[in-house]
Structure 1
Amino acid sequence: METSQDSAVYALFALPFVLFCLGLAVFVIICHWKIYTKAGQAGWASLIPIYNIYILLKIVGKPWWWLLLFCIPLVNIIFAIWATNLLSKSFGKDIGFTLGLLFLSPIFYAIMAFDRTIVYHGPAGDPNKNNPFDEINAIGQKPA
């Protein structure tokens, strides 16, 4: 049977943990906001579930239907790793940085967000690559 003393001890240890988790969540949100802004997208787009993945796919130069692949169990893990690698390449980094993004996410997302030497190079690091959204955005516009 639990006593009031046991509950106080649990609360004493739980409160710092909860505050740490909330602080980490806010920090990661700020990092994602900065990364989206660096890539030329609206920062607030990183806050909206599902839409944030759509914008991330836009940043890495993949079509919208990849969003459907994120809904398939096990397949989503593969495509999330692939998208993380493409995000790393989009900012001019290599596989080592991708591994950092996967295994030490808060640290490497902070580096990507706040390091001024890391800039967006275009989808998957190729500024000349055709963006799949250009065709959609060109609908209804006069050809050049």
Structure 2
Amino acid sequence: MWLSLTLYVLYALTMWRVFVKAGYAGILALIPIVNWIFLVKIAGLSGWLALLYLIPFVNAIFAIVVAVKEGANFGKGGLFSFFLLWMLPFIGHLIIGFGSATYRKV
């Protein structure tokens, strides 16, 4: 239980930092479903497209697209985005949130 709680708090802090770097209020990262909308906006897409997360099979493809676009906006390449923002988001968002990456909308 403590490990799960610790991992959740760590991920919440990293997402908070990513949202702040992108110019959004960090508290939005803690609100379920709302964080999807703003993560899609950070990727440079319309917030309405977050509804695609609700469609089975489409959500996996859309999550990859969002991860790659989000990584590009933080100056990261496609491999980093695929492996560390889509497959291992705990690590990818930790690197973006607390690293030297800066947000620039491409």
Identity %: 37
2:37 counterpart of 1:54 = yes
Task: Give ranges in structure 2 of 5+ residues lacking alignment.
Answer: none
Aligned residues: 105
Amino acid at match of 1:100: L
2:94 counterpart of 1:110 = yes
TM, length-normalised to structure 1: 0.69
1-side partners of 2:84 and 2:51: how far apart?
Answer: 26
Which among 33, 46, 50 is matched to residue 16 of structure 2? Answer: 33
Partner of 2:27: 44
Q: CA RMSD in A?
A: 1.2
The CA deviation at 1:56 is 1.2
1:89-108 to structure 2, matched below 5 A, reads: 89-98=72-81, 99-108=83-92
Q: Report 1 or 2 for greater relative contact order, CA contacts < 8 Å, sequence distance ≥ 6.
A: 2
1:1-144 to structure 2, matched below 5 A, reads: 18-98=1-81, 99-115=83-99, 117-122=100-105, 126=106
Higher share of residues assigned helix: 2
The CA deviation at 1:24 is 0.7
Amino acid at match of 1:60: A
Task: Assess if the C-alpha contact under 8 Å between 2:44 and 2:70 holds in 1.
Answer: no
Larger radius of gyration: 1
TM, length-normalised to structure 2: 0.91
Describe the SS at the equivalent of 1:121: coil
Task: Give ranges in structure 1 of 5+ residues lacking alignment.
Answer: 1-17, 127-144
1-side partners of 2:24 and 2:48: how far apart?
Answer: 19
